[in-house]
Chain A
Amino acid sequence: MSNIQLCYQCGKCTAICPVRRVVKTSPRSTIYNNTVYRTGSDDIWNCLTCGLCYDGCPQGVDYPEFVKEERDSKEDGDLAHKGVFTLLTDMMTDLEESRTSLDEAGNTDSKIGYYPGCLDFHDMFFNLDVDFRSIADSSMKLLNSIDLDPKLIKMKCCGHDQLWQGDKGTFEKLKDQNTKLIAQSGIEKLVTSCAECYRTLSQDYDLPVEVVHISQLLKDADLGIDSKTTVTYHDSCRLGRHMGEYEAPREALASAGSEVVEMKHNRNDSWCCGVSSMMNCNDRSKALRKARLDEAKDTGAQVLITTCPKCLAHLNCMKDEQESIEQYDYDIKDLTVFLAEQMGGK
């Protein structure tokens, strides 16, 4: 249940809201309208649920949670990619064998499981210069190199986007099906490489196993590399403000010999990639992406690292533009892919 009744209308949320910088929107007045007049607002569809307002709220009002509940069962706003991912996931719930196409099994007796999420669907639908599948391969490689030898968990989609798009029905189906699968799998610890999966499986599921993000296992691992690369780290909202994990990815990068330089907005103050839960891709959200890419450019880093495949897709989408006006000459990579590449043949 959201706690919007705690709001005392100070308006700090609206002042720091990243969406406010590109669209006329006000979390404060949305809360006010809802609590006082009981009227809805289109603003709930503009929200990126990035959590910056929650993080800054003196009263600890969980506005994203409110938005999530408000969206439930309502006709959704703008879904990017014509809602194809949503449609797919919806279909997935009706089919028995519809899960990752990754064929690697890993160590099938392991008590540790690795769940790649929907990376293979990203490869199918995004015409980007990004190999999403390599995130899964890299994750398995890294986990094997620190002797965790996980097995690959072939679940359906975690349902993150459906939950945040307001399709709770589909989410609940996925949750039930996946929870059963985990229970049958015999694992004790579930590793994700995706910030959204991590948030969803630990906060919105009720799993009998420990859920960790891969960066937490890599932060003091000795991968035997000394990369000497200057990198900057983009905190995804799901791993950062939602889950409070700011340092593990940075430590993993540092222990691999990279110099981490910070963007102006970092950690709990981090700016958003602009598109959350596959919603609202348009010229306003692009403005947010541009702002973020400009900040990264200012650091002079060679690589921009992130831990969320959505951030990776959206930032790369802008970087790959056909006739782009701005040039960004750094790479944008997932943490696991960067580290695995640095390991080379090891």
Chain B
Amino acid sequence: MSKLVGAVAVAGGGIAGIQSAIDLANSGLKVYLIEKGTSIGGKMAQLDKTFPTLDCSMCTLSPKLAEVSRHPNIELLTYSEITGIEGEAGDFTVKVKKKATYVDQDKCTACEICVSKCPAKVPNEYNEDQGVRKAIYLAFPQAVPRVFTIDAQHCLYLTKGKCGNCAKFCENDAINYEDKDEEVEINVGSVILSPGFTPFDASQLEQFRLDHPNVITSLQFERQLSSSGPYEGHVTLADGSHPNRIAWIQCVGSRSPEIGRGNCSSVCCMYATKEAMVAMEHDSELETTIFNIDVRAFGKGFEEFYQKAKNEKGIRFIRSRPSGVEVDPLTNQLSLKYEVEGDGINQEEFDMVVLSIGLTPSESSKQLAEISNVEIDDLGFIQTRIDSPMETSRPGIFVCGAVQAPKDIPDTVADASGAASKASSLLASERGTLITEKEYPPEKAIGDDIRTGVVVCRCGINIGSIVDVPDVVEYVKTLPGVAFAKEEVYACSSDSLEGISDMVREHDLNRVVVASCTPRTHEPLFQETLMEAGLNPYLFELANIREHCSWVHQKEKEKATKKAKDIIRMSTARVNLTQPLYTDKVEFNKDALVLGGGVAGMTAAIDIADKGFHVTLVEKGPELGGLLRTYTTLQDGRRTEDIIEPMIQKVVSHDTITVFTDTELVEQEGAVGNFTGKLKGIDVDEEIVFGVAVIATGANELKPDGYFSYGEYSNIVTQSELEQMMDTGVDAKNVVFIQCAGGRNDDRPYCSRACCTVAMKNAIQLKESDPGRNVYILYRDIRTFGKWEELYTKARELGVVFMRYTEDQEPEVTDRTVSVIDFLLGMNFEIDYDLLVLSAPMVTPETNETLAPLFKVPLDANKFFLEAHIKLRPVEFATDGVFLCGTAQAPKLVDEAVSQASAAASRATTILSKDYLETIGNISVVDPELCIGCGRCTLVCPFNAPELKEIVVETEEIIYTTKKSEINATVCKGCGSCAAECPTGAITPRHFTGPQIMAVIKAYVEGI
């Protein structure tokens, strides 16, 4: 490589691209985030809730959207497409076509007057064509960037030269009908492809009658559930009434080789279950039915979610795939005809039918693959390998998310961080070369006199037409501490921002209140303006008189004006008591500790070390390789040693990786940037210091003693034991597999995710090595998710016999026979076997229970480590600086473990690549005199910031040893939970002090 450029282009602004961009930008690389649509957010922005926790999708996503929009190292290119990628790894030239938006982004203040005046009505894509939007529009309320776009295809002016309303009514002269598409070239060192998926177009399957108004897709249903959707969260039929009976049909466009969609879409079973559950929460009388082939609840917490849906919520799961939707020609009534297991055909009527459409590669992603010159597979997904799931066929171009294979949000997020890790390894030497830090003038001394300036924003007509702004300004001038007050048409426009800076200087102000809109989007902007004027950003308060006032009181102008005064009076009372707060820069240790020398641990170690940091890799056992060593082959036909051995070579030969085998971490203290620990092992007794830690301690295959006579007869083995046997040749004519042996029961209620795929792989090998051999697989659900569905198809083609059993009637095993009731046929079978193979679940090592308290990180109900957020933070703990990956988090396949390991490395790098750790200004602090050491703060803090430290209290006569809370400033996020919980009032959040809050309450009371 001749040249390395410290910038990365990320193609696709869904959750995958967003996560990659944030990771890279936080690691010191410049990022161009390129998105085809007008807003970033992708499909996740359309979802109502997310499974299995039923968290609000937008609520978890929108902070990430805001982070991207504010990040100084991320340049957002929306409404843009990549048209060419030239060059090689380290130095690519990417051509981007920026489409004309016809709106000047610098002038548009998102006041929405244009929208109200636009006469054109266009199907609303965000709501999946349910309802309409205007030709000038914002994709959705939380869209980022928050700038409007004219849809040139539907704009009356641009198509017919008529109308021109938006330009006429725009008060800021932001409309530009002359806008043209623009070609830009960007120079980057690496490209990440994250264009996501497109939902399967169910209209091509006419038998499902998507033409009927009450047959909708699952994504349309999702929008119906959402309060920002077409019916404000009420599921609605074509006639405006609400359904009583809804059916979901699974696998529409998935598991259908006949139409070229042979893969499983991985997420539909869970989203359908979620949709049914949420719909029933909206309407408790609702009856829901999910027609499925197998219920693929294979992820963390999914099986438990499915069981809850089935057993507690009363969602009906029918294992049958209706061939289509029938519509009565006279009554227009929908019905489904399906086979009842072992009991003929049934026909049932439904008010609404939801088609669970699959995830498919979009045409534009196929084009992008072509432009990028990377290989795609038969299904149109971008091709990768099991041991390098983020690497495309073209060096320097990486891939993440559903364009690689159908996957859910956490897997996508892990992939995205993993791809970021790969790009950041490549460009490690260029970190920090293309980014700039903003410089601010020195802060002026604020003195004792309070001189507060207040700007009241009209927000065009948004506030100005409801609230009597001049009256409010005159009132504000009378408030205590207010030295100056004025109004602005748009406080956030760039000239107004300069005006605020000037106002601070001219009137020698030392506090500022802006009364406008929500701090969520605008506070950082105004705080930056204060810093430019030489004021500390914490001397600012935003009074929201739009969302909290003018928008909700449009019909009560006088009351709205009074309320605006109340809100500003309260904000002023608080701002008068604010003090400058400062961040602190702390030197820290930049070494990493990785616990666990399996595939995940080794990958994490290599990825971190490749970026120039020192890694200590600790393995409990005598050799590296982990769980994968107990298996011999991979699903793609390669031997496991083909991927383990090169990995071990890389680890042991790496300059900056130190390996300890036969060693465990026995002590651990401290916090991010300054952990200390003790390693103990054979010939090892060492103190170590490290800045971050990755827990990759893995899982084991359960020895299924007590299940299906395992341990009683020598010809009953587990899958991994079978693989060892297969190396020397299996001498058995009749082989029976039993799935879920010891799993999905009361002891281990989770699904172990990998076993079905492993069983398929082994069944195929047994069949291929001796086609005359009989192989039977007794299963409860086959869960070969994603692309691995092809193994299931192949196994059936080869003549493997599949028989379904239920948890109530498990197969019975004697020394030579298995008797099973085949649920599909309702008959009892006796199978003579030579070899019985049990698919036993992965279980956690006992050491989890000593390791978790050591790092103060939680375990889930099944004793796997519990990540910070099941959707968006899959590889980190709430505790700063501690990460997890691989089967320590949940059972998974090798490629998924590798993806997570790279992700953990990427997340760790966002910390390690900093020059110093920076505390935030508004942390909480403990008054040691008042602290009685009760420890309640340690229970409520989500970040483990408070720690109880032993001290001796000496009073006049009584001397005693106790503990007192100390808040680690580098970890504290200033949420104030501890202060609310503290019984003695010993804790104060520095930006929300008791006097400040009381001042707000008192100011409120003055007005009533």
The residues of A with any CB-CB pair to B shorter than 8 Å are 20-24, 78-82, 126-127, 281-288, 290-291, 317-318, 320-325
Beta-carbon contact of A21 and B956 below 8 Å: yes
Report Cα–Cα, A288/B960, bound state, in Å: 10
Q: Which of A24, A81, A82, A283 contacts B953 (CB 8 A)?
A: A283
Q: Are B929 and A282 in contact (CB under 8 A)?
A: yes
A22, A82, A126, A290: the one within 8 Å of B956 (CB): A22
B936/A322 in contact, CB under 8 A: yes
Q: Which residues of A contact B956 (CB under 8 A)?
A: 20-24
B981 touches A286 (CB 8 A): no
Partner of A283, one of B932, B948, B994: B932
In contact, A323 and B935 (Cβ under 8 angstroms): yes
Tell me the chain B residues, 363-391 only, with Cβ under 8 Å from chain A.
Answer: none
Of the stretches B552-560, B823-831, B961-969, B970-978, the one at the interface is B961-969
Nearest first, the 6 closest Cβ-Cβ pairs linking A and B are A322-B935, A22-B955, A287-B958, A21-B957, A281-B984, A82-B985
Residues B920-970 near A (CB distance < 8 A): 928-936, 938-939, 948, 950, 953, 955-958, 960-964
- Residue B1007 interfacial (CB < 8 Å): no
| A325 to B953 CA separation, bound complex (whole angstroms) | 13
Q: A127-B936, A317-B983 are in contact. Are A287 and B960 (CB under 8 A)?
A: yes
Count of chain B residues with a beta carbon within 8 Å of a chain A beta carbon: 29
A78 to B928, CA, bound (A): 14
Whether A283 and B936, one on each chain, are in contact in the complex, defined by CB atoms closer than 8 angstroms, is no
Question: Within 8 Å CB of A80, what residues of B?
Answer: 983-985
Q: Is the CB of A282 within 8 A of B948?
A: no
Nearest CB in chain A: distance from B831 CB, A: 56
Contact A282 B930 (CB under 8 A): yes
Chain B positions within 8 Å of A, measured between CB atoms, are: 928-936, 938-939, 948, 950, 953, 955-958, 960-964, 981, 983-986, 994
Contacts of B933 in A (CB 8 A): 283, 286, 321
Residues of B within 8 A of A284 (CB): 953, 955
Given contacts A81-B985, A82-B985, A282-B930, contact A321 B935 (CB under 8 A): yes
Other-chain residue from A282, A320, A321 in contact with B984 (beta carbon distance below 8 A): A282
Does A78 lie within 8 Å of B930, measured CB to CB? yes
Q: How far is the CA of A81 from the CA of B932 in the complex (A)?
A: 12
Docked CA distance A58–B769 (Å): 104
- In the complex, which residues of chain A have a beta carbon less than 8 angstroms from the beta carbon of B938? 322-323
Question: Chain B residue with minimal CB distance to A283?
Answer: B953
Nearest neighbor of B997 in chain A, beta-carbon distance: A82
Q: Specify the chain A residue showing the minimal Cβ separation from B994.
A: A82
How far is A123 from B936 in the complex, measured between Cα atoms in Å? 16
B934: nearest chain-A partner, CB-CB = A321
In this complex, which of A80, A285, A320, A321 has the most chain B Cβ atoms within 10 angstroms of its Cβ?
A: A321
- Taking a contact as CB atoms under 8 Å apart, the answer to whether B963 and A325 are in contact is yes
Known: A81-B983, A126-B983, A287-B960. 16 other contacts (CB 8 A): A20-B956, A21-B956, A21-B957, A23-B956, A80-B984, A80-B985, A81-B984, A127-B981, A282-B984, A290-B960, A291-B958, A317-B983, A321-B963, A322-B936, A324-B963, A325-B961
CB-CB < 8 A to A23: which residues of B?
Answer: 955-956
**Does the CB pair B964–A322 fall under 8 Å?**
no
Determine which of B932, B950, B957 lies in contact with A282 in the assembled complex, contact meaning CB atoms within 8 Å: B932
By a CB distance below 8 angstroms, the chain B residues around A24 are 956
Closest chain-A Cβ to B426's Cβ sits at a distance in Å of 46
**Which residues of the partner chain A approach B963 to less than 8 Å between Cβ atoms?**
321, 323-325
Contact A322 B957 (CB under 8 A): no
- A78-B930, A80-B983, A323-B935 known; A22+B958 contact, CB < 8 A: yes
CB distance from A242 to the nearest CB of B (A): 24
Q: Which residues of B contact A287 (CB under 8 A)?
A: 953, 955, 958, 960
- Residues of chain A within 8 A (CB-CB) of B928 are 283
Nearest chain-A residue to B933 (Cβ)? A321
Given contacts A80-B984, A82-B985, A323-B948, whether A283 and B931 have CB atoms under 8 Å apart is yes
Residues on A with C-beta less than 8 A from B983 are 80-81, 126, 281, 317
**CB-CB < 8 A to A290: which residues of B?**
958, 960, 962
Contact A283 B985, CB 8 Å, known A127-B936, A322-B939, A325-B961 = no
Docked Cα-Cα span, A172 to B930, in Å, equals 31
How many Å lie between the Cα of A154 and that of B931 in the bound state?
36
In the complex, 20 of the A-B residue pairs with CB atoms within 8 angstroms, ordered by the A residue number, are: A20-B956, A21-B956, A22-B956, A24-B956, A78-B930, A80-B985, A283-B929, A283-B932, A283-B953, A283-B955, A284-B953, A285-B932, A290-B960, A290-B962, A317-B983, A320-B934, A322-B934, A323-B938, A324-B963, A325-B962
